Structure 1
Amino acid sequence: MKKKRISITDIANALNVTPSTVSRALNGGGKVSEKKRNEILALAKELGYRPNPIAKSLLENRTNTIGLIIPEFTHHFYSRMLAGIESVTSEAGYQLLICTSNENQAQEIKSTQTLLDARVDGILATISKMNDKFEHIQEEMDSGTPLVLVDRFSEEIETPYVISDDFKGAFSAVDYLCEIGCRNILHIKGPDNLSTTFNRFMGYKEALRKHEIELKEELLLESSDTNLLEKIRFCLTNHQVDGAFTYSDYLAFEIYKVASELNIPIPEQLSVIGYADEPISTYINPTLSTVNQQPFEMGAFGANYLLNKINNPEIALEIKNLETRLVIRGSCKGLEG
């Protein structure tokens, strides 16, 4: 038989006092004698009384919960970002309600509404790659619920955000490839509509410009292309590709597979750099050079920005562009990390 939850009324009846007297005693309010307060506290402890969080949240107009919307859990990047968020929210006494969008706008809209219905105190979100409308996010902000964006952002949304410096991250990767002698550098771009895709592509272009290397359209591939492997195979076979920079480590792995089929040795003939420093980068052979985005720090900064906005809605817009770190491993000529 399920044990009944002890209520303030139960304690009041046992001590022949009013529920309001018990409430004041439990919450440190006045108009309760020290003797009676001690009796109430002692009985509450004996009976195992626990405050009703729903009633408490209605009274304080705060739930001490934070909503989080991320595209998925499978990528190491998001699990590390989640760890950074939780390190801050847990310390501050907040619980996380986590939803995933699966990179689908309809699911993101549903998740946003679910979190608003749960009366969360604020929301952290990584917008999905399929987003082309932001009415649901504007609706959330108009409701007075604080919002902070992490990893990705849109210029259409005026809210605090924390991202990595993808332009500099990409620039450092391609600049390094140029420094070790690469001149035909293949680039596989990320999903359309994402700020991360645009900024990494701009970093790629700027590094080529610095080294006075012509941008070749035939060396630009789209990750969404259903014939991506065939396009990679064509590039490696026909364009003397000696370097590759990809939007993600997983796309770099696609290059590894095709290079292996064509008997193109990495790094002797082809140097490769990915992005995000996923665990796969240290498991494949040769180990993959990549760009670390500091996902744990990104999550921690985002959580702190959200708490700041919850506690002070009028606070100035906070924006953080985290430094990236180029990690050179075995996939670049003559270097082993």
Structure 2
Amino acid sequence: MKKKRTSITDIANTLQVTPSTVSRALNGGGKVSEKKRLEIISLAKKLGYRPNPIAKSLLENRTNTIGLIIPEFTHHFYSRMLSGIESVTSKAGYQLLICTSNEDQNQEIKSIHTLLDARVDGIIATISKMNDKFEHLQEVMDNDTPLVLVDRFSEEIETPYVISDDFKGAFSAVDHLCQIGCRKIMHIKGPDNLSTTFNRFMGYKEALRKHEIELDERLILEGSNPDLVEKIKSCLENNWVDGAFAYSDYLAFEIYKAASQLTIPIPGQLSVIGYADEPISTYINPTLSTVNQQPFEMGVTGAKYLLNKINDPEIALEIKNLETKLVIRESCRRLEG
């Protein structure tokens, strides 16, 4: 049989005092003698009394919970970001309620409603890649629930956000490829509708412009194409590609597969740079050059912004573009000639 939870009334009945006296003693209230207060606290510990979080939240109009919506757990990026968030929220006495959207807008909307129904004190979210509507995010703010966006953002939603500087990150990657002699640089784009895809593509184009390399539309491929490896192979065979920059490390791995099937050596004939510094970048051979986005720091900053908003709803809008770091490994080498 399930053991009954000890209540304030149980303690009051045992000591023959009123429940309000017990409540004041346990919460540091006045009008309770020191002797009685110590007696109540001692019995509460003996009986294993724990405050009812639901009742406490109703009384304080605060649940000490924060909702988190991320696309998935499997990516190292999101697990590191989660660690950063939790390092801040746990110290502040908050519990996380975590939902995953699986990059699906309908699931994201359901998650928003679940968290609002749970009366969370605030929400941290990464927009799903299939997101083209934002009414559910506006609903969060209309509900007076603080919202912070991390990694991806929408200009339609005026709320604090923390992202990495994807433009500069992509620029530094393609700039490096140009500096080591690459002139035919392929780009594998990310999902449509995402700010990250747009900013990384803009960084790619700006680096080409800096080195006076004309943009070649034939070298730009959509990462969502189901025949991506075949498209990459065709591009490599027909365009004398000597460099490649991918939206993610996982898309860079597709370049590795295509190059392997064509017996094109990396980095001998083709230099490759990915994005996000996932563990796969150090496991594959040759090790993959990539861009580190500081996901842990992103989580830390996002959590701090949310707590700031919870504690002061009128605080000025906080926005952060985190610096990225280019990590050069074995997949890049300077071309001769």
TM-score (ref. length: structure 1)? 0.98
Residues 293, 324 of structure 2: 8 Å contact kept: yes
Structure 2 partner of 1:31: 31
% same residue: 86
Shift of 1:334: 4.9
Structure 1 partner of 2:238: 238
Q: How does 1:9-88 map to 2 (within 5 A)?
A: 9-88=9-88
Q: C-alpha distance in 1, partners of 2:35/2:80?
A: 50
Shift of 1:47: 1.0
**Letter matched to residue 328 of structure 2:** I
Q: C-alpha distance in 1, partners of 2:131/2:329?
A: 35
Matched, 1:224 2:224: yes
Structure 2 partner of 1:139: 139
- Tell me whether 26-35 or 238-247 shows the greater mean CA deviation: 26-35
Q: C-alpha distance in 1, partners of 2:29/2:299?
A: 38
Residue 297 of structure 2 aligns to a residue whose secondary structure is: helix
Shift of 1:3: 1.5
TM-score (ref. length: structure 2)? 0.98
- What whole-Å deviation, never above 9, does each CA across 1:14-55 have from its counterpart, x for those lacking one? 111110111011101111111111111111111111111110
Q: C-alpha distance in 2, partners of 1:16/1:229?
A: 77
* Runs of 4+ displaced beyond 4 Å: none
Structure 2 partner of 1:272: 272
**Letter matched to residue 232 of structure 1:** I
Q: How does 1:310-329 map to 2 (within 5 A)?
A: 310-329=310-329
Residues 163, 298 of structure 2: 8 Å contact kept: yes
Q: How many residues align?
A: 335
Structure 1 partner of 2:248: 248
Residue 231 of structure 1 aligns to a residue whose secondary structure is: helix
Structure 2: runs of 5+ lacking an equivalent: none
Residue 144 of structure 2 aligns to a residue whose secondary structure is: coil
Q: C-alpha distance in 1, partners of 2:144/2:234?
A: 52
Residue 186 of structure 1 aligns to a residue whose secondary structure is: strand
- What whole-Å deviation, never above 9, does each CA across 1:215-255 have from its counterpart, x for those lacking one? 00000000111221111011100000000000000000000
Structure 2 partner of 1:168: 168
Structure 2 partner of 1:117: 117
Shift of 1:85: 0.4
Q: C-alpha distance in 2, partners of 1:268/1:35?
A: 81
Shift of 1:153: 0.1
- Tell me whether 108-117 or 218-227 shows the greater mean CA deviation: 218-227
**Letter matched to residue 134 of structure 1:** F
* RMSD, matched Cα: 0.8
- What whole-Å deviation, never above 9, does each CA across 1:152-194 have from its counterpart, x for those lacking one? 0000000000000000000000000000000000000000000
Structure 2 partner of 1:285: 285
Structure 1 partner of 2:181: 181
Q: C-alpha distance in 2, partners of 1:333/1:323?
A: 24
Structure 1: runs of 5+ lacking an equivalent: none
